[in-house]
Amino acid sequence: MAAPMSWRRLVYSVYPPAIAGVFTRISDRIFRARDRRGGSSVLLLAPLLAEADPAPRRVSRPAGSAGAQGTEGLCGHFRWMAEHVPAFRVPGTHIHILTSPDQFYQTMKARIKTAKRRVVMASLYLGTGQLEQELVDCMEDALQRSQDNSDSPDLKVSVLLDYTRGSRGQINSRTMLLPLLQRFTSQMRVSLYHTPDLRGLLRLLVPQRFNETIGVQHIKVYLFDDSIIISGANLSDSYFTNRQDRYVLLENCGEVADFFADLVEAVGDVSLQLQPDNSVTMLEGMVHPYKGNRQDFSTAARKRIMEVVNTAQMRQQLTNRPEDSEDEGLSDGGLSDGGEDTWVFPLVQMKPLGIQVDEQVTQRLLKDAGPNSTVFLTSGYFNLTRAYMRLVLGAGAGYHILTASPEVNGFFGAKGVAGAIPAAYVHIARQFYNQVCSLGQQERIHLHEYHRPEWTFHAKGLWYYLQGKDRPCLTLIGSPNFGYRSVHRDLEAQIAIVTENKALQSQLQEEQERLYQRSTEVSSSTFEQPDRHVKLWVKLVTPLIKNFF
């Protein structure tokens, strides 16, 4: 049995004919042998490659866009976001930028201990070390206290994780949470999202170590009553100690917290439910993600999740009626009412389910970034989609892009195929840098590498500086990496914060500068260093790595 024709077409769409011919001949032998005893995980993933985006090209900014910097207030620049998502107005004084893994960890522990109504945790996985156990112990203490104390008898704890990552190994996220589920069954919920794309023969063939590459639950939301942390950090010891990420605490922001609690509940409703005996079941009436019809699951999941977004938007439209304000509550004058000088826009991206709000908003932001404005963009895994890359290369704004140097890449030193990932990202960065140079954009687009001994780098997001301003007025912060996986494979969520609050703008500026102070700017000589040599086989598999890691 030769490799399927769809696989052949996809390979030829990614690689030159000579290289594609080698891959297809190899895959033909694998398919004929039907060897399921540990074949190449990379080749097993290859049939899922999506059609490549069109090649990058220059694009012009449309007339009348928000790129006309300095001529309008923040409302004029960003009111369009409310057409896509709810817009929550909050006091800027209620938003705090956390700066370190330890501060993130200690804040979570403290908030769990004082929670009275709800604790909601959404992450890729929960680690199995001592620090993670202390976090679980905090949940146990809070639940026990709620049973003993009449002041908080209704405390509920809900945890949403990815099924594949959370089930890996004999000791895993599930076994960490089982004691709580067994002891506080009526107060505890553990949901395990399973992508509908990992099913059938693929689910049997892809090794456990690599099955998460097909698609995961990647949202990072940590909620305690009416306060919430939005981050890109997982619940694992390195994220509490020496893995640099970004974290923002929204304190006493009830509407924002309600939205994300509802969002996590909706994703949980379409996920597998962990039972006290460590089995999993689906809620009654819900389509199974990998046993049921794929389209039926995606349709049902999209409907359930978009109910949250649409309900929040409808509620705001009823509250901010058009006759009250021509901007439906987003006027400049209304921003400062009651100290509510900041907007929070929740952005959700779940393309396997047909939801692509974050992608639409991010593309509009990149497109509208006008001349003399500045965008600082960071990603632990620099792998812009073709669409994002095209917009960056064709925009008028100045860009400073921060990514991980090889030694702070989370895969540095890993075994097997994963160990080649840092080198693949070096190759991706060099390709991008060469494009910048070929277009003569070196003065406008700058690439930086983060360095920090004994640390890894996982920060992601952007900071947007309007023309003539020394502080950012907008930031994106959350789980997306701006890469292919974030846009096409995983469940992601982040927030856009737009603020006129000077103190909050200063916090954002300090956060951005703190990260970039540990970086060096990339030049052509960077790629000539001995440790930046990329082997030929790594270059050949880089298109696969771009799509799956």
Strand ranges (E), 212-328: 221-224, 227-231, 243-244, 247-250, 272-274, 280-281
Integer CA distances (angstroms), 489 to 6, 175, 203, 351, 356, in order: 19, 26, 16, 7, 11
Q: Distance (Å, rounded) from C-alpha 246 to C-alpha 512?
A: 10
Give the Cα separation of 267 and 307 in Å (integer). Answer: 11
* DSSP type of residue 328: T
162 flagged as catalytic = no
105 torsion bin: left (phi>0), alpha (psi -120 to 50), beta (else): alpha
Q: How many CB atoms lie within 10 A of CB 79?
A: 21
Residue corresponding to tokens 């990603």? 379
Taking residue 283's Cβ as centre, other Cβ atoms within 10 Å add up to 12
The neighbour count for residue 497, using CB atoms within 10 Å, is 26
**Six token digits for residue 43:** 């080749």
Rounded to the nearest 10 degrees, what angle do helices 421-438 and 386-394 cross at? 30
Report the half-sphere exposure of 41 (CA within 13 A, side-chain side). 16
* Cα–Cα distance measured from residue 546 to residue 549, given in angstroms and rounded to the nearest whole number: 6
Q: Could you please report the per-residue DSSP string of 412-428?
A: TT-SGGGGGHHHHHHHH
Q: Which of 77, 94, 225, 446 is catalytic?
A: 225
Contact 102, 360 (CB under 8 A): no
Strand-pair category, 445-450 with 398-404: parallel
Bridge partners, 250 (sequence order): 95, 228
Set 77, 94, 194, 220: catalytic member: 220
User: Is the CB of residue 276 less than 8 Å from the CB of residue 182?
Assistant: yes
Q: Report the C-alpha gap between 29 and 493 in whole angstroms.
A: 41
Is 109 one of the annotated active-site residues of the chain? no
Distance CA 99, CA 370 (A): 30
Helix (H) / strand (E) containing 267: helix 254-269
Query: Are 230 and 217 spatial neighbours (Cβ–Cβ below 8 Å)?
Result: no
Q: CB under 8 Å to 457, separation ≥6 — which residues?
A: 243, 244, 380, 403, 404, 405, 408, 409, 410, 450
Collect contacts of 110-115 with beta carbons under 8 A, ≥24 apart: 111/222, 111/224, 111/227, 111/229, 112/138, 112/139, 112/142, 112/224, 113/138, 113/141, 113/142, 114/224, 115/142, 115/152, 115/155, 115/224, 115/225
Annotated active-site residue in 218, 427, 458, 488: 218
Query: Are the C-beta atoms of residues 515 and 244 closer than 8 Å to each other?
Result: yes
89: Cβ contacts below 8 Å, ≥ 6 apart: 329, 334, 335, 340, 342, 343, 344
Q: Within a 10 A sphere around the Cβ of 260, how many other Cβ atoms? A: 23
- 220 carries an active-site annotation: yes
Q: Which residues are catalytic?
A: 218, 220, 225
